[in-house]
Amino acid sequence: MNAIEVDGLVKRFGDKTVVDHVSLHVAEGEIAGFLGPNGSGKTTTIRVMCGLLTPDEGGGTVLGMNLETETLKIKREVGYMTQRFSFYEDLSIEENLRFVARLYELPDVNAAVRDTLEDLGLYTRRKQLAGTLSGGWKQRMALAACVMHKPKLLLLDEPTAGVDPKARREFWDEIHARAAGGLTVLVSTHYMDEAERCHRIHYISYGKLLASGTVDEVVRDARLVTFIVEGKDLVPLRRELENDAVFAQVAPFGASLHVVGHDRAAMKKRLSQVAGKKDYKLHEGETTLEDVFIQFMADAQDNMQ
C-alpha cells in the first residue's frame, strides 16, 4: 500500500504554475528523497500533501485520506519539519515541546514530552533555551516536535541544511531506525550523499517531476557517459572542452577533469585527439547522481521567467 498516492497535482500562484501535474507514489515504510534546485516546487508540493495548501488541479490520498476533503485528519497523522527553525527561541526545549503537545491535544502532555526528550537524547538539555542551541541540536528538537504525536508519515523539508556532517549522519541513522519500524518519510535535500541513503528518489525541476526510481535506476535512465582526464595544466583543456558541443559538463576534480556527455563514441574520439597532444591520461569513469542532477538542471526551463 502507498502512504502517498497523488496524481496530476497543480498549484498556481497568480499566473505562475509552481507545481505542474506532479504525480508521486511513496510506499509505506519507504524513505523517499525529493530532489530539485531552489524554486523547483518541492516545498509547495510538500505543503499540498500535508494539507496546508489546496491543489488547483489533481488530487489523491495521503495515508489513505483524501487530499481535498480530509486535510484535518491528514495533519494529525503527519509530522512536518519546515526548512527554517520555527520554534520559540526564548522558550526552553521542554517548554516548546509542551506547547506542541497541547496543540495536538495529546492526552498526557507530561508523559509525551518526557518520553520524546528521552527518545531523542534531549532530556539533559531540556531546560536550555531553544535560541542557544547549535544547528544540530535545533534539528533534533525540531524532529522531536514532529514525532511526538507518533505520526505515520514524516515530511522533512531540507532538514539538514547548515548542519555539520556528524549531526547529519546521526539524523539519518535516526530516520532509518524509524522507517524500519514502519514510518514513511519523504525528505527534500540538496545533498547527493543523503539522496543515496533513500530507498527511492524523485527529481522535480521548475514544477515538473522529471525522474523517479532508485538511485541506480535514475542514473541509468539519464544515459550519461563520463570520462576522466588526468594530467598537469588542465585549465586550457577545460576551456577548450567547455566550448565543444560534444560535452555537456566539464568540471575539475583535484588533478583531473570530470567530462560528461551523451555520445560515448564522439566523446572518446574527441578526448583521444586532445589527450594525444599532451601527456594526459584518459579513462572512462562512473556517472554519479550529481552528474545527473546537474544535467537535469541544465536541461530544464525556468517556469518563473
- Residue 83 belongs to a domain with what CATH number? 3.40.50.300
- Residue 242 belongs to a domain with what CATH number? 3.30.70
At 86 the pLDDT is 82
Q: Is 32 a member of any domain?
A: yes
Asked if residue 163 has pLDDT above 90, the reply is no
> Which of 171, 187, 219 is where one domain is finished?
219
Distance between CA atoms of residues 18 and 30, nearest Å: 26
The mean of the pLDDT values for the chain is 91
Residue 266: which domain range?
A: 225-286
Distance between CA atoms of residues 12 and 18, nearest Å: 6
pLDDT digits (tens, 9 = 90+) for 196-224: 999 999 999 989 999 999 999 999 999 99
Same domain for 143 and 113?
yes
Instruction: Indicate the range of 139-148, 155-164, 173-182, 196-205 predicted with least confidence.
Output: 155-164
Structural domain total, the chain: 2
Distance between CA atoms of residues 188 and 202, nearest Å: 9
Asked if residue 146 has pLDDT above 60, the reply is yes
Asked if residue 90 has pLDDT above 90, the reply is yes
Asked if residue 20 has pLDDT above 60, the reply is yes
At 301 the pLDDT is 60
At 300 the pLDDT is 66
Per the structure block, which three cell numbers stand in for 69? 476533503
Same domain for 148 and 92?
yes
Q: Is the pTM of this model over 0.85?
A: yes
What are 5's strand-pairing partners? 25, 61
Same domain for 79 and 197?
yes
DSSP H helices in the chain: 42-49, 71-77, 93-103, 109-119, 135-147, 165-180, 192-195, 215-222, 235-242, 264-277, 289-299
